[in-house]
Amino acid sequence: MDGDATLETAASLVGVVAAGDLTARGATREALDRVIRMDASLGAMVHVSAERALARARQLDEAPPAGPLHGVAIALKDNICRAGEPTTCASRMLTGWAPPYDATVVRRLEAAGAVLVGKTNMDEFGMGSSTETSAFGPTRNPWQLGCVPGGSSGGAAAAVATGMVQVAIGSDTGGSIRQPAALCGVVGLKPTYGRVSRYGLVAYGSSLDQMGPLARTVADAARVLEVVAGPDSRDATCMDEGPWTWAPRPIAGMRIGVLTRLVEGPGLQPEVAEALAKAMAWYEAAGCTLVPVAMPELAWAIPTYYLLATAEVSSNLSRFEGMRFGLRREADDLGGTLERTRSEGFGAEVKRRILLGTFALSAGHQEAYHGRARKVRQLLTEAHDRVFRDVDVLLSCTSPTTAFPLGSRLDDPLAMVLSDVATVGANLAGLPALSVPCGFDRKGLPIGMQLQGPRGGEAIILDAGHAYERAHPWWTARPPVAWDLQPLAGGTRA
Ligand code: GLN
């Protein structure tokens, strides 16, 4: 059980179920109870599939506990398709739509024994950094209900932080797994582009999107990645490699590049910088070498990301026209129906992005905007490749600040966008990146540290994160919302 005494992690839960001390049904009931007890004040879940989850758990209790996720409660971000279940992307546009098929990750999780308990709240179509653009209303940060949980996978992060589920699956186009993980004090892993099949993920920016786990511990994130990673004939961008597995290795001798501007500022909350400085000192004492890295190209990352992501949005979201999916608002003719459906179906942020992306792609502007952004993306990718010749991992903040108050950045898109300053680089370059809790600020809000690796280098960032986490078990702290792990620890509840 890797030393953890509670049942908050997938690893410990699987052990307890295998030992016969708890049934999968008991574990699922506990997860559903917690949703009922806590979610009214958080808004993390947008759909709960209680009956289906309990039926699945009953099946699992009749089968031998073979899978690595046997009985583990998992929630899916609401842009991941599960057959017969509402999938809204937190948009009015998809009201009433339920996909007829499962995403590849869904099939793999279920085959490994996971119990899928529902869908989590998010920024509409993944566009945002605070879960405030959701058509369902915002999710609140469990550490301070007046603050945002980050985004766009804010519901996923809040659900894991409060122990409603051991694991949630999020998606990350520019930071949407890692930034909410940091703001809610959990682990978030964005795999290498192509590591996890995107089949069944509603596309935002197809060249940037990856799905990955949010979990309490690094080992849990790795366990889930082992299950969901691997080639898939339904996603041509999947890496053509055999099964991915991880066993932690010692970190002494590791060369850790430190992105100086993203650990010291300017623009960094001083407490974030202090927490990172302590983590760096710890790595040095553990036998790692710290290497300062400037990477001036990173100054272009945000504008490049927003040009490329919005261009892909303008194309990907054109499929929502009121004919095939969800909402339809009839008008006198086809054009009118299309216009009415899209005007009423999409929220303001989504419209802003479609307009921006369409402009960037329009005749006369395409080379100046999209063409140049593509070239800069190439330069950024090469800059990362060069850096990873000299270092094993790259350390930085995940987010320059801790969670901010609800509403405080909604009218300031630039401030919102700057939440992603440390995270978009990994998406542009297709690299794996991990966020690990590394302390709390004076208000009691969690701080996250980001560890990026070379393409295909999930194992090394997990090694680095795991070693740090063992010495600094921040994850065992619990948010002050009402929750109580005693019933589970008390034994069988079947
Ligand atoms: N906040 C970024 C955006 O709004 C990233 C979102 C994401 O990764 N889905 O685009």
Instruction: Name the residue ranges covered by the structural domains of the chain.
Output: 5-255+389-484
- The C-alpha atoms of residue 457 and residue 392 are separated, in whole angstroms, by 9
Q: What is d(CA 164, CA 403) in angstroms, rounded to the nearest whole number?
A: 20
Domain 5-255+389-484's class?
A: alpha beta
**Pairing state of beta strands 446-452 and 210-215?**
unpaired
Look up residue 482 and give its DSSP letter. S
Mean pLDDT of 323-346: 91
Give the tens place of pLDDT for each residue, 438-474.
999 999 999 999 999 999 999 999 999 999 999 999 9
Residue 4 has pLDDT above 50, yes or no: no
Ligand 1, pocket-test mutation among 127, 132, 314, 427, most atoms within 8 A of CB: 127
Listed residue (120, 135, 89) closest to 186, CA to CA: 120
pLDDT reading at 8 higher than 90: no
Q: Please provide the DSSP assignment of 76-143 as one string.
A: EETTB--TTS---TT-GGGTT---SS--HHHHHHHHTT-EEEEEE--SGGG--SSS-S-TT-PPPBTT
Instruction: Give the distance (Å) from ligand 1 centre to CA of residue 171.
Output: 9
Nearest CA to ligand 1 atom 5: 174
Taking the centre of ligand 1 as the mean of its atom positions, its distance from the CA of residue 172, in whole angstroms, is: 7
CB count in 10 Å sphere of residue 77? 30
Confidence of residue 488 (pLDDT cuts 50, 70, 90): very low
Residue in 91, 152, 171, 396 annotated catalytic:
152
Task: Please work out whether the CB of residue 176 comes within 6 Å of at least one atom of ligand 1.
Answer: yes
Tell which one of 91, 121, 122, 123 to mutate to probe ligand 1, the residue whose CB is within 8 A of the most ligand atoms.
123
- Closest atom of ligand 1 relative to the 420 alpha carbon: 1
Q: How far is the CA of 149 from the centre of ligand 1 (A)?
A: 14
Q: Ligand 1: distance of its center to the CA of 67 in Å?
A: 33
DSSP category for residue 202: P
Which of the four pLDDT bands, split at 50, 70 and 90, describes residue 483?
Answer: low
Looking at 294-347, list the stretches that DSSP marks H as alpha helix, in order from N- to C-terminal side.
Answer: 301-316, 334-345
Q: Residues of the chain with pLDDT > 90: what percent?
A: 87
Which is nearest to 109 in space by CA: 226, 234, 262, 2? 226
Q: Is 128 in the pocket of ligand 1 (CB under 6 A)?
A: yes
Q: Is the CB of 174 under 6 A from ligand 1?
A: yes
Task: Report the percentage of the chain scoring pLDDT > 70.
Answer: 96
Question: Which atom belonging to ligand 1 lies closest to the Cα atom of 349?
Answer: 4
pLDDT tens, residue by residue, 129-156:
999 999 999 999 999 999 999 999 999 9
How are the residues of the chain apportioned to helix, strand and coil, as percentages rounded to the nearest 5? 45, 15, 45
Longest dimension (CA), the chain: 71
For residue 204 and ligand 1, the question of a CB distance below 6 A is answered with: yes
Q: Is 77 a catalytic residue?
A: yes
Q: Indicate the average pLDDT of the chain.
A: 94
Q: What's the pLDDT at 413?
A: 83
Write the CA distances from 141 to 42, 115, 138, 151, 204, integer angstroms: 7, 25, 10, 11, 24
Q: In what order do the strands lie in the sheet with 289-293?
A: 45-48, 115-120, 73-77, 167-172, 210-215, 187-190, 433-440, 446-452, 393-397, 255-259, 289-293
Which residue among the candidates 176, 197, 314, 419 is catalytic per the annotation?
176
Cα of 340 from ligand 1 centre, angstroms: 26
